[in-house]
């Protein structure tokens, strides 16, 4: 499978999981899309830095709409790229964010760790009381 096909498949899988299988319906909520706009902004900044500085390189033949050879600097916009990074990166990022949130909501509804614990460990450790007094 190509990079583009995998990206589209990832998006399709998480949309089916959200709306059909696990029925969390996050994609139908305005709050999701508002928060996702923030995620996309920082994804573009990060991808732009990594790809623009050529820390990560993509062969133009491997991404949609690009003819840029591997040794040429990528364009900022156009030629299958947004902020230097391939459009497919946005699709993979979307799939990652949605899958994480869908599983989080679904597991929360099933009662998995309904009362989150924070702070120091609750297990009494030998000498911990003495250390706390110092």
Alpha helices in 1-134 (DSSP H): 3-16, 30-52, 87-109, 128-133
For every one of its 134 residues, what pLDDT tens digit does the chain have, with 9 covering 90 and above?
Answer: 788 899 999 999 999 999 999 999 999 999 999 999 999 999 999 988 998 888 988 777 777 877 777 777 777 887 778 888 888 999 999 999 999 999 999 988 877 665 656 666 666 556 655 555 55
CB 103 within 8 A of CB 15: no
State pTM to two decimals. 0.74
């Amino acid at each position: 499978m190509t990079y583009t096909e995998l990206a589209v498949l990832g998006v399709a899988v998480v949309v089916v999981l959200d709306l059909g299988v696990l029925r969390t319906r996050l994609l139908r909520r305005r709050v999701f899309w508002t928060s996702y706009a923030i995620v996309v902004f920082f994804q573009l900044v990060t991808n732009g830095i990594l790809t623009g500085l050529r820390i990560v390189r993509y062969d133009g033949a491997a991404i949609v709409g690009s003819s840029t050879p591997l040794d040429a600097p990528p364009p900022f916009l156009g030629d299958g790229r947004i902020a230097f990074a391939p459009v497919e990166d946005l699709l993979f990022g979307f799939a990652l964010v949605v899958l994480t949130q869908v599983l989080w909501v679904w597991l929360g509804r099933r009662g998995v760790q309904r009362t989150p614990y924070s702070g120091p460990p609750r297990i009494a450790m030998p000498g911990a009381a003495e250390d706390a007094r110092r």
